[in-house]
């Protein structure tokens, strides 16, 4: 069934919070209920991973509704998660690790930045936490890229706050329970992972180096090699920052080719959240390792007119 929202007032904004909890199913469901229970908000997807120990929530709606939902989720997450007992393979700096806002329909990036900074100021004041802005919301160029904004991670946050890198909003104090929050404004990002058919972590890291833009690979691609202990396999985890420059098929084919050169097969792929139809550039989801892909994983399905169902 098409889960479209054609009658929702424009402009529309998407929010994709990444939360440092991927194992407690009941807690993740409570977070989801916090979002899904807000009037005007459409919760498109919840993706939880126990190895990353991280959940990604994708929701959209009108500006006021999304702001209210983001702040309600922040309240629930910061009350429930204690980073002192958190251990996962994904880099993180806070319980509510990243909170990016994305313009979807009839909204400028400048307006999206205003939303991000308004929400960031509220979180900083309400919870007395350091907030850093990244992406288009970054105060200066040094925090434009998410890896730079997260520099040092949670483990290095106390020293960072004592040094010459104060937060953009909130107190420069280290809260060992909650860490810091990274609030951003960005374009549509496609989070796409490829599971290798084997346990060679060194190979996964080498493939990631070959694929990511920073080491001469594909335009707009960030990639790291990770070990998924619960599955006994290695993974190439990617962010496609510009799916127009590097769509999903190009990233998948490059990983598959690099793996083949090392005598390694590809087991399957994984989409984290939703993606626009254009990101597939005419290829079927099955051809890029997504055999169980469903229509509700397309961003377009929430924006197109209903089909009379």
Helix axes 109-127, 63-80, angle to 10 degrees: 30
Other C-beta atoms closer than 10 Å to the C-beta of 79 total: 11
Closest CA to 273 of 251, 249, 290: 290
* Residue 90 designated active-site: yes
Tokens for 73? 């989720």
The rounded distance, in Å, linking the Cα atoms of 25 and 14 is: 24
For residue 22, report the phi and psi dihedrals to the nearest 5 degrees.
-135, 10
**Which are the contacts of 64, defined by CB distance < 8 A and separation ≥ 6?**
40
If you search the block for the tokens 């890198």, which residue do you land on? 165
Find the angle CA(292)-CA(297)-CA(299) to the nearest 5 degrees: 155
Structure tokens at 250: 């190009």
User: Any residues with CB less than 8 A from the CB of 260 and at least 6 apart, and which?
Assistant: none
Structural element, H or E, at residue 6? none
Task: Answer whether 236's CB lies under 8 Å from 203's CB.
Answer: no
Task: Record the tokens describing residue 272, joined without a space.
Answer: 């984290």
Catalytic annotation, pick one of 86, 87, 90, 127 = 90
Q: What are phi and psi of 221, to 5 degrees?
A: -110, 130
Contacts 24+ apart (CB under 8 A), 37-40: 38/65, 38/68, 38/69, 38/72, 39/65, 40/8, 40/64, 40/65
| Catalytic site positions | 90
């Amino acid at each position: 069934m098409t889960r479209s929202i054609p009658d929702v007032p424009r402009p529309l904004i998407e929010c994709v919070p990444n939360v440092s909890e991927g194992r407690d199913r009941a807690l993740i469901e409570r977070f989801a209920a916090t979002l899904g229970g807000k009037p005007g908000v459409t919760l498109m997807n919840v993706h939880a991973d126990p190895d990353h120990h991280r959940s990604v929530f994708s929701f959209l709606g009108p500006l006021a509704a999304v702001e209210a939902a983001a702040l309600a989720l922040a309240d629930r997450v910061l009350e429930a998660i204690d980073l002192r007992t958190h251990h996962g393979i994904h880099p993180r700096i806070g319980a509510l690790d990243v909170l990016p806002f994305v313009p979807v329909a009839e909204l400028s990036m400048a307006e999206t930045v205003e939303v991000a900074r308004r929400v960031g100021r509220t979180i900083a004041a309400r919870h007395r936490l350091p907030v850093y802005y990244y992406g288009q919301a970054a105060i200066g160029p040094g925090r434009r890229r998410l890896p730079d904004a997260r520099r040092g991670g949670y483990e290095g946050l106390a020293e960072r706050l004592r040094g010459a890198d104060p937060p953009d909003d909130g107190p420069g104090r280290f809260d060992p329970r909650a860490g810091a929050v990274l609030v951003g404004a960005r374009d549509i990002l496609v989070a796409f992972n490829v599971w290798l058919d084997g346990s060679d972590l060194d190979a996964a890291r080498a493939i990631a180096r070959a694929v990511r833009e920073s080491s001469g690979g594909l335009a707009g691609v960030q990639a790291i090699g990770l070990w998924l202990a619960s599955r006994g396999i290695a993974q190439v985890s990617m962010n496609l920052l510009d799916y127009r420059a590097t769509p999903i098929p190009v990233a998948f084919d490059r990983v598959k080719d690099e793996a083949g050169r090392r005598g390694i097969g590809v087991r399957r792929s994984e989409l984290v959240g939703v993606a626009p139809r254009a990101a597939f550039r005419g290829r079927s989801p099955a051809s890029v390792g997504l055999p169980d892909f469903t229509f509700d994983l397309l961003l377009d399905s929430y924006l197109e007119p209903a089909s009379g169902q």
